């Protein structure tokens, strides 16, 4: 098997693997090819980890970045064609870097954001950073028109990009709100469901079905659910048994329910 040697290079951990890649391209699938492929991944892994280190402190753990970089390196080893005449490193670096950037784009946003909006965010972010540093105080906030001119974007696209700047991370609902109200959390500002609205909707849905009932059944339901009378009191007032009233209430409610559901369907 061809051995992997090292030579002087701008990057100390860049191995000389030209002969190994040429041999890999000639080998058929099998244990020998798999072993050489694994060796190539191993010797180039320090380069991939160095690239991953450039993205420390951007919201993702270094261990996860290393795994993503290693995945990009495997893709680079599998996709590299030594017959094209360029060095492996010139192919592997953009492949690994692209895999890391794709990871940030697809997994690190708190909200799902279309790719076009993500690109607008990046262009706006860079423009804001460079324009902010161009002022005398170094911390001024450029306006929408200024950002649009600098980044060659429309003002509408700049506004979209500025909104996307706040979508990369999310605050916990337990986080305190800024201002003078100490102890007030974001959850405290959220509205709650008002059961009264559901009650109004239910009553309006039931009205047409109630009108189809015989007058006696409508009277019984009115006395029971709107006047709050017990079944015994209703039976005494109408001169029937309490058991009969109970049966009529059950039958009437079932009829109303079926007609409301049928209308909804």
pLDDT of residue 125: 82
Asked whether residue 51 falls in the same domain as residue 90, the answer is yes
Whether residues 89 and 174 share a domain: the answer is no
The strand pairing partners of 185, in sequence order, are 176
Parent domain of 55: 5-107
- Quick: pLDDT tens for 47-95: 999 999 888 877 678 888 899 999 999 999 999 998 888 889 888 999 9
Q: Are 76 and 139 contained in the same domain?
A: no
pLDDT (0 to 100) of residue 175: 62
Q: What was the pLDDT predicted at 8?
A: 42
Contact 245, 235 (CB under 8 A): yes
* pLDDT < 50 stretches in the chain: 1-3, 5-10, 136
Task: Give the pLDDT of residue 122.
Answer: 79
CB 15 within 8 A of CB 44: yes
87 CB-side CA count, 13 A? 9
pLDDT at 164: 75
Q: Is the pTM of this model over 0.75?
A: no
pLDDT at 192: 64
Average of per-residue pLDDT values in the chain: 80
83 contacts: CB under 8 Å, gap ≥ 6? 25
pLDDT at 10: 45
Find tokens 């170094």 and name the residue. 138
Last residue of a domain, one of 107, 133, 154: 107
Partners of 5 in the β-ladder: 16
Please tell me whether residues 33 and 119 are part of one structural domain.
Answer: no
């Amino acid at each position: 098997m061809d051995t992997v040697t090292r030579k002087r290079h701008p990057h100390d951990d860049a191995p000389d693997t030209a002969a190994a890649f040429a041999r890999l391209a000639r080998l058929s699938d099998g244990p020998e090819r798999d072993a050489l492929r694994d060796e190539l991944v191993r010797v180039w892994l320090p380069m991939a980890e160095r690239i991953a280190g450039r993205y420390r402190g951007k919201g993702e753990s270094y261990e996860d970045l290393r795994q993503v970089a290693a995945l990009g390196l495997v893709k680079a080893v599998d996709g590299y064609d030594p017959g094209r005449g360029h060095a492996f490193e010139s192919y592997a670096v953009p492949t690994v870097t692209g895999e890391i950037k794709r990871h940030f784009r697809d997994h690190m946003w708190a909200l799902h954001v279309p790719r076009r909006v993500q690109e607008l965010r990046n262009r706006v972010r860079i423009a804001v950073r460079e324009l902010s540093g161009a002022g005398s105080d170094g911390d001024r906030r450029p306006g929408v028109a200024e950002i649009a001119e600098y980044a060659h974007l429309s003002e509408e696209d700049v506004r979209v990009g500025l909104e996307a700047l706040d979508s990369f991370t999310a605050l916990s609902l337990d986080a305190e709100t800024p201002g003078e109200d100490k102890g007030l959390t974001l959850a405290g500002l959220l509205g709650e469901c008002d059961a009264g609205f559901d009650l109004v909707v239910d009553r309006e849905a039931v009205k047409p079905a109630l009108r189809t009932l015989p007058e006696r059944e409508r009277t019984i339901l009115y006395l029971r659910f709107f006047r709050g009378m017990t079944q015994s009191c209703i039976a005494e007032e109408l001169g029937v048994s309490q058991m009969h009233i109970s049966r009529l209430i059950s039958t009437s409610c079932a009829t109303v329910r079926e007609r409301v559901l049928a209308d909804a369907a």
